[in-house]
Amino acid sequence: MKRDAEELLKELCPDLQISRSNKEWLERSAQAIAKTTQSRDIYPVVDHTQGEGPWIYDLKGNQYLDMTAGVAVRALGFRNTVIQDFEQRIQGYLREVPGQDFDVIPQTLLAERLIGLTPGDHEKEVFFTTSGGRAVESAVKSVMDTSHRFRFVAFRPAFHGRTGYSLALTASKHVHKDYYPQGLDVIRGPYPYCFRCPFGQHEDTCNLECLQYLRDSLQYGGTDIAAIAIEPICGEGGIIPAPIKFLKALRVLADELESKIISDEVQAGLGRTGRWWGIEHADVVPDYICTAKALGGGFPFGAAIGPKPMFTDFSRHSETFGGEPYIALISLSVLRTIESDRLVENAETRGKQLRKGLLEIQETSKFIGDVRGRGLMCAVEIVTDRKTNNIDPKRREAILSNCVKKQQLWIIGSGRNSIRFLPPLNITAEQIDIAIERFGKAVKGVK
């Protein structure tokens, strides 16, 4: 940690005794901070004063190659100079104008930009939020408000958020939902998880049995569907890309039901898959797109883009900090940088390089059952062996531990037994090669 940062902390907390002990700070964190997501047995305390591009540091000064991008938040990596310079230029601008109550130019310009980036030529408008879950929540409320239908279709696995209506759509881990009452009537179908097809099919011979299963479920559960919520790539459930033909058939089903499609692009959107939006790989036009994470350039920011009008009256929905001018300007800068630096194209190219390297590791490992993904949203699935393909969460955790502690590769899991790769969109070919080499060594180190 930098000395001026230590002095700042002492200024804010006069009785503080600065320690660089990772163990001490992990213990203090465990005592003071509620349980969240990642294991303190694997990940050290991050030095909040250092980091650049895909590189992150711990309190001892050890450098790690970050292949998480903050779960797709830091699309441009740490301390991107373009964004930092832009932030300096707008330091004196108002930050506190509540965009849900009063109009500001940056908010309007960002809304117009997002409307132009999303597929379809129908009239659209934007509702700004502070998170991806709230973006999904906004789309759900919009559909109910304008259709007066209240039944939804979602999939298993699926992750759309942990609060309110978004939690009702979620089904990726039981710990997300145990003992929480649900706020929506949801008819659930199997996500098209080709590696673990519940119908015993293979992608090349698939007749979309999973979609037929959903059609049958609707005959029992109700066809008065407000919307179908789908992740074009199932994120928290294991980084599972939905087959193109499935997404196309889903659009047909939605039209038959006279219902909407909500494409949850919180993790997959804004160039990560090698397209601006994950659903564009299928040339499908959804009714709603939900985005967040990368949209804020590191700040909490999200948006739902939907058909105009999204709500039938004023005050049907609101959020205090949605669309403040300062964050809207940073978001516009992020979008401009993604476009000017051709990072959508880079995601596609570097993603192919990454999957090629992971497939080569799979050839020499009996524990990697599947390699999958689109663009820079990739995963490997860890199994007991490639004959049975039984899930192996314990070996997954051992590999993650090897990555972080022995290879200094900062990486996280996904689903029950997968490891996900979500590097910054501006990652280089050399950095991808380093990640592949380190991951290969981490896999070999686990017996």
CA distance 6 to 12: 10
Tell me the average pLDDT across 281-298.
Answer: 97
For 126, 238, 267, the CA distances from 272, given in Å and listed in that order, are 21, 16, 8
Structure tokens at 157: 């696995």
Q: What is the pTM of this model?
A: 0.95
CA distance 345 to 272: 10
Asked whether residue 194 carries a pLDDT value surpassing 80, the answer given is yes
What pLDDT score does 40 carry? 83
DSSP string, 29-70: HHHHS---SS-TTTPPPB-TT--BBTEEEBTT--EEEESSHH
Structure tokens at 18: 């600065």
In the predicted model, what is the mean pLDDT of the chain? 94
Which residues sit opposite 72 in a β-bridge?
none
264 near 290, Cβ under 8 Å?
A: yes
More confident residue, 24 or 431: 431
Write the DSSP symbol of residue 243: P
The fraction of the chain above a pLDDT of 90, given in percent, is: 81
CA distance 144 to 374: 32
CA distance 368 to 361: 8
Task: Give tens-digit pLDDT for 340-380.
Answer: 999 999 999 999 999 999 999 999 999 999 999 999 999 99
CA distance 359 to 381: 12
Asked whether residue 3 carries a pLDDT value surpassing 80, the answer given is no
Task: Give tens-digit pLDDT for 114-168.
Answer: 999 999 999 999 999 999 999 999 999 999 999 999 999 999 999 999 989 999 9
Structure tokens at 276: 């601006």
Give me the domains of the chain, ranges plus CATH numbers: 3-79+342-444 (3.90.1150.10), 105-340 (3.40.640.10)
The dihedral over CA atoms of 184, 189, 195, 196, expressed in degrees to the nearest 10, equals 100
Which residues sit opposite 151 in a β-bridge?
185, 225
Rg (CA), the chain: 22
What pLDDT score does 97 carry? 86
